[in-house]
Amino acid sequence: MSKSHRGHTPMLPIVVLISGSGSNLQAIIDAIRDDGLPVEIRAVISNRPDAYGLQRARAANIPAVVVDHTAFDNRSDYEAALQQRIDQYTPAMVVLAGYMRILGAAFVEHYQGRMLNIHPSLLPDFPGLNTHQRAIDAAVAAHGASVHLVTNELDGGPVIIQASVPLLVEDDATTLAKRVQTQEHHIYPLALRWFAEQRLSVKAGEVLFDQQPLNQPVHFNSDTDAT
Ligand code: GAR
């Protein structure tokens, strides 16, 4: 790992996987540029050639790579190619940022303890898709986003940090998604900072925060935790 330009924290090398807009990718790029986030994005890889996030990567001089899942006969061939491509960049962490494909067991196993995902709900509530509409339909008091380690259980790995937003009577899925995404853009860079600073680590599947077992997710409060 190379030294960060600001301090003594080594840069955490990551590869970011996307499928779409890449606003979380952009939040990480911005935090590196503006807040000294000690992270080096070695590549952005998309399974979709038209993902807008690829343009964001190119604009930031980050290698933008397509591994198009439709070009493969089956998932295991696709994931083997994806894994090979990721590993060329020797990342310490693989960061799923709106990557919208379910991953197979061998792939998840290969990155065990070093693959993160951001999910638009307060896990364990609403794993899977359409989380905002489901939260509205369930009339929850609060909704939000979670950063978690990826395991073989869909959206089920240990949660590191969550941020919540209240559900408003006038909310529809679009307005709610927008407020949740604003929170996502805080908590993903923050979780990466903690990994880079080695405040967060994973040992034998257990998440440690400041050397203590993380028994429940950190709850992000933008007024107090914005460092
Ligand atoms: C984000 O809201 C993220 O939480 C969600 O996709 C969006 C991607 O936005 N991820 C999932 O639903 C994963 N199951 P982005 O491309 O603008 O970062």
pLDDT at residue 56 is higher than 70 = yes
pLDDT tens by residue, 123-134: 999 999 999 999
Q: Report whether residue 121 contacts ligand 1, using a CB cutoff of 6 Å.
A: no
pLDDT tens by residue, 153-180: 999 999 999 999 999 999 999 999 999 9
Cα of 211 vs centre of ligand 1, distance in Å, is 30
Cα of 159 vs centre of ligand 1, distance in Å, is 16
Its pTM stands at 0.95
pLDDT at residue 5 is higher than 80 = no
Q: For residue 204, what pLDDT band results from cuts at 50, 70 and 90?
A: confident
Q: Which atom of ligand 1 is nearest to the CA of 99?
A: 13
132 noted as active-site residue: no
3-state secondary structure the chain: CCECCCCCCECEEEEEEECCCCHHHHHHHHHHHHHCCCEEEEEEEECCCCCHHHHHHHHCCCCEEECCHHHCCCHHHHHHHHHHHHHCCCCCEEEECCCCCCCCHHHHHHCCCCEEEEECCCCCCCCCCCHHHHHHHCCCCEEEEEEEECCCCCCCCCEEEEEEEECCCCCCHHHHHHHHHHHHHHHHHHHHHHHHCCCEEEECCEEEECCEECCCCEECCCCCCCC
Q: Report whether residue 146 contacts ligand 1, using a CB cutoff of 6 Å.
A: no
